[in-house]
Amino acid sequence: MLKRPALSCLINPLLSRTMTTMQETKELFRRADAVCFDVDSTVIREEGIDELAKFCGVGDVVREMTRKAMGGSMTFKKALTERLSIIRCSREQVNKLITDHPPQLTPGIKELVDRLHKRNIKVFLISGGFRCIVEHVASQLNIPLHHVYANRLKFYFNGEYAGFDETQPTAESGGKGKVISMLKEQHGFETVVMIGDGATDLEACPPANAFIGFGGNVVRAQVKEKSSWYVTSFDELLKELEKI
């Protein structure tokens, strides 16, 4: 089947990403080969690391650091390292969190992912959160685990916190864009759309062909301002797919 050439996230390299119009973004979404979702505060209602911190008794300190990281005022890796050094969660605590307080899906996400799958659009989860939590979310949405890109916690043999895998692209600022570039190369995708609530999602376009800002759980001013299409409900995306 012949594909139309993909519109670029940047119409002209001299123009900013905000110059991509809402209509162009909608068109790219309707004919995407793949859609990549952020997880925390997008696919799920909460920030996984904040929930883990609260569970471990250090919620207030870590929540403020998360706010700064998502707003783009400090590098993601620095924020992740500092937050985890405060939390120092054990393997047992992580497992208990998932059992006692499983991630809560954002309303409409299951219907949206099901619709994308029915249209043979590949769905990926690209998260700065933790793979053990994101895999649980992927299973609820029938997303293959090899379509999950997230950070890995490390533990000593006795289950105590031993750091995180710093080699994962999602541990770095700009890491989500690196994953999207890799997906394009591996799968030959021409049009990839990134959807998320934070600065690390916004900066993934390019190489994503389009970015859709999501404010259904939390509104981040920087992301809302720079998004050509900003939605507060996944129903808006479902309605757009009905136009095909």
- Domain ranges for the chain: 22-46+103-242
Give long-range contacts, CB 8 A cutoff, 24+ apart: 27-30.
28/191, 28/193, 28/209, 28/210, 29/193, 29/210, 29/212, 29/229, 29/237, 29/240, 29/241, 30/240, 30/241, 30/243, 30/244
pLDDT (tens digit per residue) in 51-100 = 888 888 888 878 777 666 655 566 777 878 888 888 888 888 888 888 88
Question: Which residues are CB-contacts of 161 (< 8 A; sequence separation ≥ 6)?
Answer: 84, 87, 88, 89, 90, 153, 154, 155
Q: Read off the pTM.
A: 0.80
Catalytic residues: 38, 40
Helix (H) or strand (E) holding 153: strand 153-155
pLDDT (tens digit per residue) in 12-56 = 443 344 446 888 888 888 888 889 999 988 998 887 788 888 888
Token pair in block for residue 135: 């895999």
Say which CATH architecture domain 22-46+103-242 belongs to: 3-Layer(aba) Sandwich (3.40)
pLDDT recorded at residue 141: 93
Backbone angles phi, psi at 213, to 5 degrees: -80, 140
